[in-house]
Each structure stands twice: as C-alpha cells, then as structure tokens.
C-alpha cells in the first residue's frame, strides 16, 4: 500500500506525511507551470501532527523555490525546515508569508493545499466562500488510508484534465518515495500508458513511400507513365511532362558541361516561375543542389547568400550579371539553346535520397539569414503517400508561394511527383483579386496554399474566390477563426487544412483538417506521415497532455541542418532522447497536446517582452485586438523611440471596409480585457498589411509610429524651458522610470500617494518654493505641472534650519504619541521593528561591528533616549552609546529570545544579533519605532551594507533633532495658522464612532489582535488600476472609496471617518533623515445611497487632496480640540484604519540575503480594524488586523467577501448607485469535486 510507504518514509525522514504530500504537490505544480517559485495557501487541520501549534488554524502563504537539480529528500528537507522555522518563531498571523527563496511570484494564492484528519469515510467539508479566489485546491485526509480530492474551477479546467493531474500526483508520489535520491529533473510521473499514448499512438503515422528514390527519379517515372499530360502552365503556356523533362535535361547537360559535381550548389535567380521550375529540375538531374534566390532581395543580402552558401554556379539571365558580384561560374539561361534532338536522362545512380536537393535561406535571429539543407528524402516524405491530403494525377495545384519560401516545395513537387498539374502565376496576378479569381477558373485549380495573412486579405476582399477549390491549405501563422469560419460556412464540402511546419522540417510537420466552426483556437493538428512530434520540458522530458512545453519535431522531414553553421546546427538539431538513431529539431514554439492527439500552438518561447518591469505576451494582446468586431487583422510589436530608446507597445490593424475607429474607444475596448500596462501606446490603422515575397507580414515595411499621431492625440513636445527639464529629472528619479514623456500621466506611471509625497518634497527642494501637494494630484503630467510651478514661483521656500547643540530637544508630536502608548503599556512590543536577515556570504563580525558604530555615529536618532526634564518629556542625543552584538547558536531559532520591551530612557534603542543556524548565518536587527519609520529602515539597511563594503557615504544634511526643533517652534505656528482651520471645519460636527457589527461585546482590558490575510488577484488589481486611470485617481483613492462603502454597508452609517498614515516627509531635506515622521490623517467622508460610485470617488479625491495639503497638522492637536472625552483603550475619532504600502521591507535585499520582517511580538490592537494593503508587481496583498475579542475569523472572512464583491462590482460599473451595490449576493464561482482518489488505488 502506498499509504503505508508514505508513513514509513515520513518516519524514516523525521517528518510528517502532510509535508510529503505538500512537497509532491509543489513539485507537480512546478512541472505543470515551468515555474520554480511556487506559492500556495496551506491549511492544516491535523490534530496529531508532530508540529503542535495553532498557527495552522487558518490559511498561511507558503512560498518555495523548487530546484529540479536536487533530490526529493533535499527538497523535502528544505520545505520541512521552512515550516519548522515558521513555527519556532511562533509567528502571528501578520507573518503568514515565509520565503524559502528569493524571487518574485505572480500567482499568489490561487492554489491551495489542505490536510485534514481522517474523517472515517465522510466527505471533506469545504468553505466555498473562503475559497472563491482559489483556482485549484488539493485536499488530503490522512488516516488508515490517505485520501485525496481536488476542487477546481470548472470554467478553467475540464474534468479529464483534473483526472490526469490526480493520476500524476499519485505517480509522482510513488516515484519520489521509490527514488528519493534521484535528481528531480530525471523523475517521470507519466504512467506507462500515457507515455505510450504520446510516444507511440500520437505518432503512429508510418506509411510506405519511395524513401530511397530521388526527386528527379520519381519525376522521370511520371514522364514515362503520362508523357503527354500537362505538367505545368504559365500565362497561356503549357508544358507536358515530356516537354518539361526535355527542357530540364537541356539545363542538366549544360551544368554537366560546366563541370558540376554531386551536391554542388547552383544559385537560381530567375524572374519567371516557369524558368524556376525547369531549372530546379535541371539542377537535380545534373546531381546538384538548387538554391532559390529572390531577385527582390537587396543586393547585400543576395551577395551574402551567394558567398555564405559557397555556390559554385549561378543560373540567371544576362541582365542580372551586370548588377551582381559573384565569385563562381555565371550561366545565362537564355544561352542554353533548345536542342533539336531530345536529350536522354542523365545517369544519376551515384545520387541517393539522402543527398541534398535544395538549400533555402530563412531569417536568422542574428540578422543574417541561415541556409537550411533539405534532402531528396525530406521532400518525398512531404508529398508521396501522405496522410493529410490526397495527391494523385488528378490534383491541380495553383502556385502562390515565392520560390524562396518552402511552400513551393509542396506546390511544385506535390503536383509533379504525383502526375498532377502545377499552375504557375506571377506576383501581379496573386495580388489582384480579380485576376486571381479568373486564373483559378481558367486553370481549373482545385488545390491552393496560402499564408494566413494573405488568406485573410483575400477573404475580406471576395470570399467567393475560393469556390472552385477542393483543398485549401492555410498556414505560416496562426489562423483567424473569423475568416476560416466564413469559408467553412459557405463551402462546407471544401477540405480546409491548417498546415504548420518550419523550413527545417520541410514545409509541413503537422496538419489539422478544419471539420467544424471554431470559437476558440484552431489546433495545428497531428504529425503528418513519417513525422514525429514531441512536447518536452527544459530537461527534454515528455510533457503530459495539456501541459505547455517546447515543440520538437522528428522523422523523415528533418533537414540536415544549417549550411556552414555547425554551431547553430548542434544547438537546434539534438539527439532524439527516445530514439538515438535520429535527430530532433527544436522549433522554439510553445505547444501542448490535446487529449485527442492534436497539438495546440501556444506562442513562441521568445515572444515574451518586458516593458517597465512587466512581462508581456504579445500574442495575448493580439488575440484581444482581433476580437474587436470591426478589426479583421492585427499585429502587435515593440518599438523603440529613436531618440530616448524607450520601449513601447505598438498595434497595427486593418478594419472592415477600411472604417476608421476612435482610438480612445479602441483603447477602452482593450482595457476591458487586459491590464493598462498591456495596452499599446501606438495604434496604427493600415489600409492593408504589407506582405513579403513569402506571403507573410513584411515587418520591415510597417510604418514607424513617429509618422502617425499617437494615441489620444498625445505628442512628444520638445523641452522649451528649464522647468520641464528639471521636472523630468525629478520624475525619473522618484518613479525610477527612464525616458518619461512630458504628457505621460502620473498614475499611468505607477504613481500613488506616497510617491506624490516624495515628488512633492523633491520639487520644493529643487525649485526652492512652497508648493501644495494637491497640485501634483490635480496636474498629473510634467507639462501641466510645469505651468502651475511657474504660477507659484513667488512662494519662496525657507529650508529647515540646523538647530544649535544643547542638552535636550523637544519631542515631535509623532514621538509623543508613541511614547505615551509605550508608557501606558510598559510590556508592549508592538512598536518593536525586528528584521531577520538571511545572509548568503560569511559575515566578518569585526567589520560588521565597525559598520554599525559608524552608522550610529551618522544618525543621531540611533543615539537618542527619552526622559523627563522640567516636567516635560524630552529627547537626549547621547554622544556615545555601547552596542553589543548578541550571538546565538543552535537548531532552528531556539537560541533567539523573543522580542522584549525597550527602556526608552536608555540608548541605543536598537539591538543587533548574530545567529549561526545550520551553517547559515542570520543578522537580527531590532529598533524601537520611536526612532525609525519604514523609510528609515530602508535607509539604514542600504547604508549599513555600503559601510560594510567599505564605501564612503555623503554626510547627513539634517538630523531628526533639527526637524523636531523646527516643528516645535517656527513651523508649529505656521501650521496652526494655515492648517488648523481646515481640520476644525472638517470636524466641527461631532464624530460618531463606527458601530461595527461585532461578534462579542468589547472588553477594553483585552486588546489582543490577530491578522486575516488575503490577496486581490492579478485580474482584479488590474481592473482597480484601470479604474483609477480612467477616473484620474490614485490606486489608494479608489481603495479608500471602496473601503468607505464597505464600512457604510456593514454599519448602516453615512458619516464615515477612517485613519490613514502619511509619510510626513513632504518637506525638502528630509529624504535621507532617520527618524519617526509618520503622521495620521483623519479622512471623513459621506457615502450616500443615491450617489453614484464615480461621483463619490470624486468627493473622496477632493477631500483627500485637501487633507494631504494640510497633513502637517498633528493628530494629537486635532484630538485635543475636537474630542471632549477620551475613553480608556479607545482610539479617538476613528476605530478603523487603512493604508497602502508601495514597498514591503520583506522584498528588500541585504548582503544578497532576504530581509524578513518578524512580528512575533505580543499582538496589541491599536484599532478595531486595520487594513494594510501592500502593492506587489501585479497584485495586492492585504493584512487585515482585527481585535480578537470582538471579531471571529469567520466574520473576517465574510468581511473579505464583502470588500472584494464591492471591488468587483464598481470596477465593472463605476456609475452604479451605492444603494444598488448588494454585498450579500457575491458572484458564485462553480467548483467541482472529482471522485475521491484513494491511495493506494
């Protein structure tokens, strides 16, 4: 039994069975997603696990770095140690995320693992409301038999997909226990049946074909069988098989007379397609290799191909010789006279099917084309006795491909090696819909190949063009379902084939017959006869059905490689891991198997781009663009501005009947499906896409965006004033984004309230004027802001003066508030800021001590203590302080004491510890919040690392005592004079404390808290950001508005006051000062039932802008003026808080190690509800602290549901009335449980 083996393995490895299941689950997710940073939610309800802790009573976030070069034992141990460390820290719910690695992950918490006690055969209960954001959840029940079930969203996964996933989980678990010391990359979790299905059944396409013959040999047999049948036509001329054979023999004899040898390359530069076909045959008959060269190529490209190929002969016409430099022998086709006596076929017994037939140059990633070497057998496998199309003497093929494009391989040899007829046309005919339609009728062609872009154009012009066809092959690019469906609907009897294949595998590798109307992507089908296809991961292992990997191709179509390029050949053509006797070609295409054996194309490996830190898949944008009802064709690319090299997305598109679209409307349309960072900067409408000779989009011919008006009539005005230049520098430094344009929107660039505060301080410093913060929020572009700055240029700014040295200095209001809280609760450790830093390199203790001393000497806050002096609390700057580095040894974190309260009268208010844990060193840094804020911690970590590295730092301009002295003297009078009026007016009416719906009556003696953690996913976050951009608001303003509505809904009150912190660093000179600057703002708003959400958002914006303009007014001063009676252990004015943090300290690095913020102190709630929202790259994390005495975990889960429902509703309909927002009917997401999987099956 597998269950017994799991328990035995757990016992022998000193771990728990649920950790084995968790590790297996993570490994399987790694294989399925090709991601090594795996993050999921975990919930453990086992009563008898070896880890006895209550921390698993609710979900925690577990992030793991998977290394497939390691063994299962190693990976298991790392995950176990991570959990053990988390438990040993006795972490409270604020620290529910732990990192076993560094790195970013964008799929936070959409997957979950839950372990339960054995329920004796009962169904496992699941809280659907709590899991509405989970895409996939694995539940395990561990008793006499381990049982596993899987919940999933039916709109994302099919049942057979989940069944396979469950089987793979079991297989992987068995393999891990059987071979725990084998590197994970070598472990295969596919069953023997699935392996056989993919390797054998899906590739079971062998057919007997003349693989040992040559092309010209088969052609000559056709000449014998039907000499008088028409072989080829062109512009009224026709050649029978006999005539074509005779004319090609003349060329073969001419080449032999010139001394051509076997496998020597002959370049063909001929304008007439008929001459090309004759010459191709002639070269093969002479034993040579033909090399088609497009006459439209630039001369430099032609000469490169000629020289790189080593071609000894060039067959062309006289006029070409004058314009081209060629080292070899030039042969004038016009001088090869028609023989009066038919020439016999040359003997070519020395030529085999493995010899080269042609070399075709394709574009290379280096910018230089590369020559692909195709053999006779490669070609014959394509067109003889194949399974994707019936080719015989009745076939009548119209040639549309350029001869430098390998579609002609199918067209020419598909006809001539099967006794059919090849109808040649020139380029003008191909591009003129009327001429092409006429030619199809005249020639009675029944088979045609077209590139997807050309096919789409022809359908749009006149779909009746295709009426005569029996077979239509389309490929070279992803098929447009719109256009294919139109032809399928009107001509259901026509065989429409999606043909996929690189030149390196001779034209077609897989094909799919379109047998129905498609709403989704059309697959590229199954491997054609004598061709194999494999979808592999990075370790060359088979990917399961439905899992994306790189497509590899094998079989008799694989070319010999690249001409004169062995390095690239070895890189792209590898040994087949499943058949050592053949090679596989790496396509660079992403694909996945469907359960019916068809392959779905999923884009290019290299089709991802990164713009401003966001990874973007261009195909995804293109799909949305093409879903617009007026757009018939589109292409997305990345353009660099020629001046500033800034990368921007650019969209090209065609419309039905060449209609013009409003670009703003088009942008909104795309914005309905994609985040703002995926919306193209430029939208360029084309009458028609330019096509190259191969029928594909000619990328070089696409117009540059500079020649068109950018979206929304934006422009690139030149700098005319120093104001704009100076602002540009400030914006780029504060936002950390290069090459910002004058008209770019502050919010589009990721600006938020905190960034605006930093920008505000820098602007005041650089321009030397007082400037309201509100102007930045109201004028969110450099151009508009510059105009306002010029208007305010007379408001001279007086910098913060340096204070005189003295024994004591007054405390700031921020310090006073914190000091009083600490004195009221002496054992309080909530204000301890503690960091545990995993350091990768060995620490030089002596150097660390010296660096700390220098850091303490630089920043007076680190030498500050607090005491009573003459009836007041003051701060004292100590000239010298002693700091001892505490050292700890031991397993886990057993040797480290928990946080202990600081004595504020004794400096320094900092502790440093050094831990040696399992040969890994950690640095412990702990500060009291009264001397630092979040920005200070970031400053201190950066400077400590630089000092440790021996770097010299610039001197500190302002110390905290300068700020405090200034704030208590000159500044305080100005603040009271200018800002008190706003706050006293705002709170002239009494504030009613929010009547929150609690589960229990509040006990003011028990203020212990917990934190409920959840995430706002990528899609929802994108919608909120887009709504903010649409309404010219910050992300925080939108979230604050939603939070107000949430509070209104749960309290039935329409007068809502919430608190929010501000950095307090809005005055210039404080950017690098260490200290406690954070102030609290009271934001009072009035949500009403009959207000639209968008209107209420505007009200919130206006009030918030005003509040930020008056943010220097101390919170304590406001309380003293407007609160008549303060209650014990209750916060005045508001009992709920919200904050948006634009950076998280745990994402910081120090000496190459992770900085983890520890919150293992005793939890003491400052507010009944405190929502802290953290901005990650493409999602939001929420830590919602709550008073445990009055709220249960179930209530907090319900609050999360209410908040997210409001968010979802208003992002879809910003004009909805607040009264119509129903939080009690959240959108249900279907989940389905597959039959329970019992181990051991």
Identify the weakest region by mean pLDDT among 345-359, 905-919, 1032-1046.
905-919
Q: What is the mean pLDDT of residues 969-984?
A: 75
Q: What is the pLDDT of residues 1222-1234, one digit of tens each?
A: 886 433 333 333 4
**pLDDT given for residue 988 in this prediction:** 87
What is the DSSP code string of 14-69?
TS-HHHHHHHHHHHHHHHHH--SEEEEEEEEE-SS-SS--SGGGS-EEEEEE--TT
- Please state the φ and ψ torsions of residue 79, each to the nearest 5 degrees: -70, -40
Q: Which residue has the tokens 């990328």?
A: 699
Q: Where are the beta strands (DSSP E) in 791-939?
A: 809-810, 832-839, 864-869, 872-877, 885-889, 910-917, 920-928
Q: What is the pLDDT of residues 161-181, one digit of tens each?
A: 999 999 999 999 999 999 999
**Does the pLDDT value for residue 148 go beyond 50?**
yes
Cα(682)–Cα(670) distance, integer angstroms: 13
Q: What is the mean pLDDT of residues 53-79?
A: 78
Closest by Cα among 889, 880, 932, 888 to 910? 932
- Asked whether the beta carbons of 416 and 422 are under 8 A apart, the reply is yes
Identify the weakest region by mean pLDDT among 190-199, 308-317, 432-441, 697-706.
697-706
- Please state the φ and ψ torsions of residue 961, each to the nearest 5 degrees: -65, -35
Q: What is the pLDDT of residues 579-617, one digit of tens each?
A: 888 999 999 889 999 999 999 998 777 655 645 434 466
**pLDDT given for residue 1150 in this prediction:** 64
**C-alpha pair distances (Å), 766 with each of 763, 771, 953, 1112:** 5, 11, 22, 21
**Does the pLDDT value for residue 122 go beyond 90?**
no
Q: What is the dihedral of CA 1050, 1054, 1060, 1066, to 10 degrees?
A: 160
Q: What is the mean pLDDT of residues 712-737?
A: 63
- Asked whether the beta carbons of 1027 and 1211 are under 8 A apart, the reply is yes
Give the chain's length: 1241
Sequence-separated (6 or more) residues with CB below 8 Å from residue 300: none
Q: How many CA atoms lie within 13 A of 1202 on its CB side?
A: 18
Q: What kind and span of H or E run contains 1182?
A: strand 1180-1187
Q: Where are the beta strands (DSSP E) in 408-564?
A: 421-424, 447-451, 471-475, 495-500, 510-513, 526-527, 531-536, 549-555, 561-562
What pLDDT band is residue 245 in, cutting at 50, 70 and 90? Answer: very high
What pLDDT band is residue 466 in, cutting at 50, 70 and 90? Answer: very high
Closest by Cα among 405, 430, 420, 458 to 292? 405
Q: What is the mean pLDDT of residues 1003-1009?
A: 69
Strand order in the sheet with 526-527: 237-240, 230-234, 421-424, 396-398, 447-451, 471-475, 495-500, 510-513, 526-527
**Does the pLDDT value for residue 1118 go beyond 80?**
yes
- Asked whether the beta carbons of 560 and 583 are under 8 A apart, the reply is no
Helix (H, G, I), strand (E, B), or coil: what is residue 9? Answer: helix
**pLDDT given for residue 945 in this prediction:** 86
- Asked whether the beta carbons of 307 and 314 are under 8 A apart, the reply is no
**pLDDT given for residue 617 in this prediction:** 67
Q: What kind and span of H or E run contains 944?
A: helix 934-948
What pLDDT band is residue 248 in, cutting at 50, 70 and 90? Answer: very high
- Asked whether the beta carbons of 439 and 423 are under 8 A apart, the reply is yes
**pLDDT given for residue 885 in this prediction:** 87
C-alpha of 42 from chain center: 24
Q: What is the mean pLDDT of residues 509-532?
A: 94
Burial readout 306-323 (b: 16 or more C-beta within 10 A, e: otherwise): bebbebbbbbbbeebeee
Going along the chain from its start, the domains and CATH numbers come out as: 2-186 (3.30.559.30), 215-573+583-593 (3.40.50.12780), 613-703 (3.30.300.30), 722-791 (1.10.1200.10), 809-964 (3.30.559.10), 966-1148+1168-1220 (3.30.559.30)
What is the DSSP code string of 552-612?
EEEETT---EETT-HHHHHHHEEEETTEEEEEEEEEEEEEEE-TTS-EEEEEETT-EEEET
**Does the pLDDT value for residue 96 go beyond 90?**
no
Identify the weakest region by mean pLDDT among 299-303, 343-347, 375-379.
299-303
**pLDDT given for residue 750 in this prediction:** 59
**pLDDT given for residue 1020 in this prediction:** 87
Sequence-separated (6 or more) residues with CB below 8 Å from residue 723: 786, 789, 790
Q: What is the pLDDT of residues 1165-1197, one digit of tens each?
A: 678 899 989 887 678 889 899 988 889 988 999
**pLDDT given for residue 1240 in this prediction:** 43
Q: What is the pLDDT of residues 1104-1115, one digit of tens each?
A: 888 888 888 888
Average pLDDT score over the chain? 83
Sign of dihedral through CA atoms 1018, 1023, 1024, 1028?
positive
Q: Where are the beta strands (DSSP E) in 224-345?
A: 230-234, 237-240, 265-268, 289-292, 313-316, 329-332
**pLDDT given for residue 645 in this prediction:** 46
- Asked whether the beta carbons of 611 and 647 are under 8 A apart, the reply is yes
**pLDDT given for residue 99 in this prediction:** 33
Q: What is the pLDDT of residues 763-786, one digit of tens each?
A: 877 777 777 777 777 777 788 888
What pLDDT band is residue 738 in, cutting at 50, 70 and 90? Answer: low
Tell me which of 98 and 903 has the higher pLDDT: 903
Cα(680)–Cα(783) distance, integer angstroms: 22
Q: CB 466: neighbour CB atoms within 10 A?
A: 21
Q: Structure tokens of 1162? A: 């005793």
Cα(613)–Cα(518) distance, integer angstroms: 35
**Does the pLDDT value for residue 227 go beyond 60?**
yes
**pLDDT given for residue 975 in this prediction:** 67
Cα(1005)–Cα(1127) distance, integer angstroms: 12
- Asked whether the beta carbons of 667 and 679 are under 8 A apart, the reply is yes
**pLDDT given for residue 280 in this prediction:** 97
**pLDDT given for residue 814 in this prediction:** 86
**Does the pLDDT value for residue 385 go beyond 90?**
yes
What is the DSSP code string of 1197-1231?
HHHHHHHHHHHHHHHH-TT-BGGG--TTSPPP--E
What pLDDT band is residue 968 in, cutting at 50, 70 and 90? Answer: confident
- Three-state SS string across 413-428, please? HHHHCCCCEEEECCHH
- Asked whether the beta carbons of 1034 and 753 are under 8 A apart, the reply is yes
**pLDDT given for residue 693 in this prediction:** 59
Sign of dihedral through CA atoms 893, 181, 592, 1232?
negative
Closest by Cα among 222, 258, 259 to 345? 222
Q: Which residue has the tokens 């921007």?
A: 648
Share of the chain above pLDDT 90, in %: 40
Tell me which of 486 and 476 has the higher pLDDT: 486
Q: What is the mean pLDDT of residues 1190-1205?
A: 91
Q: What is the mean pLDDT of residues 515-544?
A: 93
**pLDDT given for residue 1232 in this prediction:** 36
Cα(46)–Cα(114) distance, integer angstroms: 10
**pLDDT given for residue 896 in this prediction:** 57
Q: Where are the beta strands (DSSP E) in 1000-1152?
A: 1009-1016, 1056-1062, 1079-1085, 1136-1141, 1149-1150
Range picked from 52-61, 85-94, 430-439 for highest mean pLDDT: 430-439
With vertex at residue 99, the alpha carbon angle to CA 97 and CA 101, rounded to the nearest 5 degrees, is 160
Cα(35)–Cα(538) distance, integer angstroms: 11
Closest by Cα among 625, 619, 632, 622 to 457? 632
Sequence-separated (6 or more) residues with CB below 8 Å from residue 1126: 1119, 1132
- φ/ψ region of 310 (left if φ > 0, alpha if ψ in -120 to 50, else beta) reads left
Identify the weakest region by mean pLDDT among 257-261, 280-284, 587-591, 1118-1122.
1118-1122
Residue 546: burial class (beta carbons within 10 Å; 0-12, 13-18, 19+)? middle
Tell me which of 520 and 139 has the higher pLDDT: 139
**pLDDT given for residue 1076 in this prediction:** 92
**pLDDT given for residue 1066 in this prediction:** 75
- Three-state SS string across 333-399, please? HHHCCCCCCCCCCCCCCCCCCCCEEEEEEECCCCCCCEEEEEEHHHHHHHHCCCCCCCCCCCCEEEC
- Asked whether the beta carbons of 779 and 1105 are under 8 A apart, the reply is no
Cα(794)–Cα(1044) distance, integer angstroms: 39
Q: What is the mean pLDDT of residues 452-477?
A: 90
**C-alpha pair distances (Å), 803 with each of 800, 964, 965:** 9, 9, 7
Tell me which of 266 and 754 has the higher pLDDT: 266
- Asked whether the beta carbons of 938 and 1201 are under 8 A apart, the reply is no
Sequence-separated (6 or more) residues with CB below 8 Å from residue 722: none
Q: What is the mean pLDDT of residues 952-975?
A: 82
Q: What is the pLDDT of residues 635-688, one digit of tens each?
A: 998 886 554 445 678 999 999 988 889 887 888 788 766 656 578 878 899 999
Closest by Cα among 457, 515, 510 to 485? 515
Q: What kind and span of H or E run contains 776?
A: helix 774-778
Query: Which letter does DSSP use for residue 71 in this model?
Result: B
**pLDDT given for residue 141 in this prediction:** 87
């Amino acid at each position: 039994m597998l269950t017994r083996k799991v328990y035995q393995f757990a016992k022998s490895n000193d771990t728990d069975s649920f950790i084995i299941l968790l590790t297996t689950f993570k490994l399987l997710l790694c294989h399925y997603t090709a991601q090594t940073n795996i993050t999921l939610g975990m919930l453990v309800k086992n009563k008898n696990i070896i880890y006895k802790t209550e921390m698993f009573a609710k979900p925690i976030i577990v992030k793991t770095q998977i290394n497939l070069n390691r063994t299962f034992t190693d990976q298991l141990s790392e995950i176990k140690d991570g959990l053990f460390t988390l438990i040993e820290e006795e972490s409270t719910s604020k620290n529910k995320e732990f990192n076993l690695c560094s790195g970013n992950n964008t799929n936070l918490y959409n997957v979950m693992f839950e372990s339960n006690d054995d329920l004796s055969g009962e169904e496992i209960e699941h809280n659907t409301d709590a899991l509405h954001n989970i895409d996939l959840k694995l539940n395990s029940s561990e008793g006499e038999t381990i049982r596993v079930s899987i919940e999933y969203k039916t709109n994302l996964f099919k049942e057979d997909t989940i069944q396979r996933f469950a089987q793979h989980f079991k297989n992987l678990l068995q393999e891990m226990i059987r071979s725990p010391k084998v590197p994970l990359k070598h472990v295969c979790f596919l069953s023997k049946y699935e392996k056989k299905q993919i390797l054998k059944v899906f590739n079971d396409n062998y057919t007997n074909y003349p693989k040992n013959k040559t092309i010209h040999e088969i052609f000559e047999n056709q000449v014998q069988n039907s000499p008088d049948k028409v072989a080829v036509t062109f512009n009224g001329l026709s050649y029978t098989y006999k005539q074509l054979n005779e004319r090609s023999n003349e060329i073969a004899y001419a080449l032999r007379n010139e001394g051509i040898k076997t496998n020597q390359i002959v370049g063909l530069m001929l304008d007439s397609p008929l001459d090309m076909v004759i010459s191709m045959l002639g070269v093969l008959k002479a034993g040579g290799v033909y090399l088609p060269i497009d006459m439209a190529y630039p001369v430099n490209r032609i000469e490169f191909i000629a020289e790189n190929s080593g071609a000894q002969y060039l067959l062309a016409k006289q006029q070409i010789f004058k314009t081209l430099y060629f080292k070899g022998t030039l042969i004038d086709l016009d001088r090869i006279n028609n023989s009066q006596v038919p020439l016999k076929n040359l003997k070519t017994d020395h030529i085999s099917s493995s010899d080269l037939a042609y070399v075709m140059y394709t574009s290379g990633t280096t910018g230089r084309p590369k020559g692909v070497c195709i053999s006779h057998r490669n070609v014959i496998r394509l067109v003889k006795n194949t399974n994707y199309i019936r080719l015989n003497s009745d076939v009548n093929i119209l040639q549309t491909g350029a001869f430098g494009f390998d579609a002609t391989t199918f067209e020419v040899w598909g006809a001539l090696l099967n006794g059919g007829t090849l109808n040649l046309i020139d380029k003008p005919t191909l591009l003129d819909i009327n001429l092409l339609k006429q030619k199809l009728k005249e020639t009675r062609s029944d088979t045609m190949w077209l590139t997807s872009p050309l096919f789409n154009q022809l359908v749009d012009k006149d779909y009746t063009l295709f009426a005569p066809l029996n077979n239509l092959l389309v490929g070279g690019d992803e098929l447009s379902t719109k256009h294919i469906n139109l032809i399928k609907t009107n001509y259901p009897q026509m065989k429409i084939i999606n043909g996929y294949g690189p030149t390196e595998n001779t034209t077609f590798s897989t094909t799919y017959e379109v047998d129905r109307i498609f709403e989704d992507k059309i697959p590229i089908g199954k491997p054609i006869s004598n061709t194999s296809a494999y979808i592999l991961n990075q370790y060359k292992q088979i990917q399961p059905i439905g899992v994306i990997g790189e497509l590899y191709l094998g079989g008799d179509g694989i070319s010999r490689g690249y001409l004169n390029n062995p390095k690239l050949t070895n890189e792209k053509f590898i040994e087949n891991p499943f058949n050592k006797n053949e090679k596989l070609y790496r396509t660079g295409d992403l694909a996945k198997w469907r359960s019916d054996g068809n392959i779905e194309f999923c884009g290019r490996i290299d089709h991802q781009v990164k713009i401003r830190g966001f990874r973007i898949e261009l195909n995804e944008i293109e799909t949305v663009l093409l879903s617009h009802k007026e757009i018939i064709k589109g292409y997305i690319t990345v353009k660099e501005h020629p001046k500033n090299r800034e990368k921007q997305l650019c969209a090209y598109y065609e419309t039905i009947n060449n209609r013009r679209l409003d670009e703003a409307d088009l942008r909104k349309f795309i914005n309905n499906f994609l985040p703002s960072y995926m919306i193209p900067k430029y939208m360029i409408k084309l009458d028609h896409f330019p096509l190259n000779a191969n029928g594909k989009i000619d990328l070089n011919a696409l117009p540059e965006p500079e020649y068109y008006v950018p979206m929304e009539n934006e422009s690139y005005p030149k700098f005319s004033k120093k104001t704009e230049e100076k602002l540009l520098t400030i914006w780029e430094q504060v936002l950390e984004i290069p090459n910002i344009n004058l008209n770019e929107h502050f919010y589009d660039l990721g600006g938020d309230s905190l960034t605006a505060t930093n920008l505000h301080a820098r602007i005041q410093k650089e321009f030397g004027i007082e400037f309201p913060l509100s102007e930045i929020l109201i004028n969110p572009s450099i151009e508009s802001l510059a105009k306002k700055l010029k208007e305010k240029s007379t408001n001279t700014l007086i910098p913060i003066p340096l204070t005189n040295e003295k024994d004591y200095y007054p405390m700031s209001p921020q310090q006073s508030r914190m000091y009083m809280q600490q004195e009221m609760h002496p054992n309080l450790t909530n204000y301890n800021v503690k960091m545990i830093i995993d350091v990768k390199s060995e620490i030089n203790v002596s150097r660390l001590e010296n660096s700390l001393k220098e850091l303490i000497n630089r920043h007076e806050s680190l030498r500050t203590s607090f005491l009573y002096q003459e009836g007041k609390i003051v701060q004292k700057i100590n000239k010298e302080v002693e700091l001892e580095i505490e050292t700890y040894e031991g397993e886990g974190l057993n040797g480290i004491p928990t946080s202990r309260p600081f004595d504020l009268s004794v400096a320094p208010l900092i502790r440093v510890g050094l831990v040696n844990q399992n040969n890994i060193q950690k640095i412990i840094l702990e500060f009291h919040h009264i001397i630092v804020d979040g920005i200070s911690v970031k400053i201190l970590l950066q400077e400590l690392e630089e000092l440790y590295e021996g770097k010299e730092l610039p001197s500190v301009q302002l110390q905290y005592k300068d700020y405090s002295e200034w704030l208590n003297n000159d500044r305080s009078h100005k603040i009271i004079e200018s800002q008190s009026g706003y706050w006293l007016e705002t709170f002239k009416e009494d504030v009613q404390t929010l009547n929150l719906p609690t589960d229990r009556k509040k006990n003011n003696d028990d203020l212990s808290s917990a934190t409920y953690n959840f995430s706002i996913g990528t899609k929802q976050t994108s919608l909120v950001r887009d709504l903010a951009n649409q309404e010219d608001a910050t992300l925080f303003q939108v979230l604050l508005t939603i939070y107000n509505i949430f509070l209104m809904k749960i309290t039935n009150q329409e007068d809502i006051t919430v608190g929010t912190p501000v950095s307090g660093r809005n005055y210039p000179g404080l950017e690098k000062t260490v200290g406690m600057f954070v102030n609290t703002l009271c934001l009072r708003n009035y949500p009403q039932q009959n207000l639209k959400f968008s209107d209420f958002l505007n009200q919130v914006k206006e009030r918030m802008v005003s509040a930020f303009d008056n943010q220097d007014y101390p919170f304590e001063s406001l309380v003293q003026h407007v609160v008549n009676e303060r209650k014990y252990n209750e916060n005045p004015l508001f009992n709920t808080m919200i904050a948006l943090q634009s950076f998280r300290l745990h994402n910081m690095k120090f000496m190459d190690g992770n900085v983890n913020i520890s919150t293992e102190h005793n939890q003491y709630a400052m507010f009944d509800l405190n929502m802290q929202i953290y901005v990650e790259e493409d999602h939001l994390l929420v830590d919602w602290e709550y008073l445990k005495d009055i709220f249960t975990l179930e209530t907090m889960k319900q609050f999360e549901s209410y908040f997210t429902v409001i968010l979802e509703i208003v992002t879809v309909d910003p004009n909805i009335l607040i009264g119509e927002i129903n939080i009690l009917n959240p959108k249900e997401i279907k989940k389905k449980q597959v039959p329970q999987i019992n181990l051991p099956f």
